[in-house]
Amino acid sequence: MANKIVEDPRIDPRIKNLFKDMPEGAGAKVEDREVLIGAMQAMAGNSMLAAMFDDLDFEAVAPSGGLAMTRHEITSAPDGNKVSVHVIRPEGSEVLPCVYYIHGGGMMMMSAYDPNYMAWGRMIAGQGVVVAMIEFRNSAVPNTLPEVAPYPAGLNDCTSGLRWVLDNAGNLGVDASRVIVAGESGGGNLTLATGLAMKRDGEIDRIAGLYALCPYIKGEWSDADGGSVVANRGILLDLHFDNGAVAYGIEAHKAGDPLAWPGFATEDDLKGLPRVKISVNECDPLRDEGVAFYRKLVRAGVPAQCVEAIGTVHGTEIFLACPDVSRDAARDIAGFARR
């Protein structure tokens, strides 16, 4: 039976072609973190995702010409572990705005050095900004960092990398007054959480804005949510069987910690944040929670905007199968940093 992406008439044909061979499956809820991690790591060698990208020429879509790329190893606080920041910038000595980018994967998996993320970073940098991509500790599947750890490990790595970029802005050719944080899905969670953490620590004035694409911020879903959770069920994601809270740290979810799951943030928590832009995908189960978060920001007095990409599924922009959609998003993110 064809998967729901292929069957849905709303979805861009290029996305259907990318995911045409993805098997349909409901998954299962897992309550034990160690069991879940073992299962996820056993599946990590599956090359299905890489195979889906075989027909995409990332260099053609996001050329590396004219861009300088450097990798920096830094020490994350407070754990003292090593992480890295991949910096992509237009060649030359011009001082430029910066997009500090946090990759997706539900805070559980993926890497800033995956080919699609490297290309996505180049696409944004090609708009005339510096892009700094943080490689943080995942909570389930290792990336180029061998350690996996639950919340707050990933958030600590993200805030540490951001502070490093801000502290080293002069050496990086970055305008420290125009640094924004951006990310998609789990990276959208960490984008908003990084803003909340900087506010908690009295450093919110150091960042100029937050740009969250398809943010993954609730941690628990059911039919009672209705809306996009039900209407878009099984289109790339089935949130009824999502195990993100278990992998990332069920205790934080049960405690309603907004730094782990920004969907728990109150209006008081949000007051004082810099400008925020939320981008959602029409055919994404997560669509409505992003819109709801935008409305909460507005009620809190935060300068906020929300846009919807029609005909797209969760995270379409970073798959690069629809280059025009991705370029428009990259252009908007870079413009958000320049303002």
pLDDT of residue 272: 98
> What is the spatial distance between Cα 275 and Cα 1, in angstroms, rounded to a whole number?
44
Tens digit of each residue's pLDDT (9 = 90 or more) over 204-227: 999 999 999 999 999 999 999 999
- Look-up of token digits 């802005």: 169
Q: Is the per-residue pLDDT at 109 higher than 70? A: yes
Q: What share of the chain has pLDDT > 70, as a percent?
A: 97
Rg of the chain over all Cα atoms, to the nearest angstrom: 19
For helices 153-167 and 186-200, the axis angle rounded to 10 degrees is 70
Tens digit of each residue's pLDDT (9 = 90 or more) over 87-99: 999 999 999 999 9
Q: Is the per-residue pLDDT at 45 higher than 70? A: no
Distances, alpha carbon 95 to alpha carbons 92, 177, 312, in Å: 9, 11, 35
Which ranges constitute the DSSP H helices of 11-112? 13-18, 33-43, 48-52, 58-61
For residues 219 and 151, is the Cβ–Cβ distance under 8 A?
no
Q: Is the per-residue pLDDT at 25 higher than 70? A: no
pLDDT of residue 2: 53
**Across residues 102-124, what is the average pLDDT?**
97
Residue 335, classed as helix, strand or coil, is helix
Q: How many CB atoms lie within 10 A of CB 44?
A: 12
Which residue in 208, 135, 161, 184 sits closest to 320, CA to CA? 184
**Across residues 238-255, what is the average pLDDT?**
95
**Across residues 296-319, what is the average pLDDT?**
98
- Band (266; pLDDT cuts 50, 70, 90): very high
pLDDT of residue 103: 98
- Band (23; pLDDT cuts 50, 70, 90): confident
Which residue in 114, 106, 109 sits closest to 138, CA to CA? 109
> What is the spatial distance between Cα 13 and Cα 321, in angstroms, rounded to a whole number?
10
Number of helices (H), then strands (E), in the chain: 15, 8
Q: Is the per-residue pLDDT at 51 higher than 80? A: no
For helices 323-338 and 115-125, the axis angle rounded to 10 degrees is 50
Question: Could you list the residue range(s) of the whole structural domain that residue 186 is in?
Answer: 4-338
For residues 90 and 84, is the Cβ–Cβ distance under 8 A?
no
Window from 28-32, 142-146, 223-227, 286-290 with minimum mean pLDDT = 28-32
Q: Is the per-residue pLDDT at 26 higher than 70? A: no
- Band (46; pLDDT cuts 50, 70, 90): low
What's the structural domain count of the chain?
Answer: 1
pLDDT of residue 1: 39
CATH value at residue 111: 3.40.50.1820
- Band (255; pLDDT cuts 50, 70, 90): very high
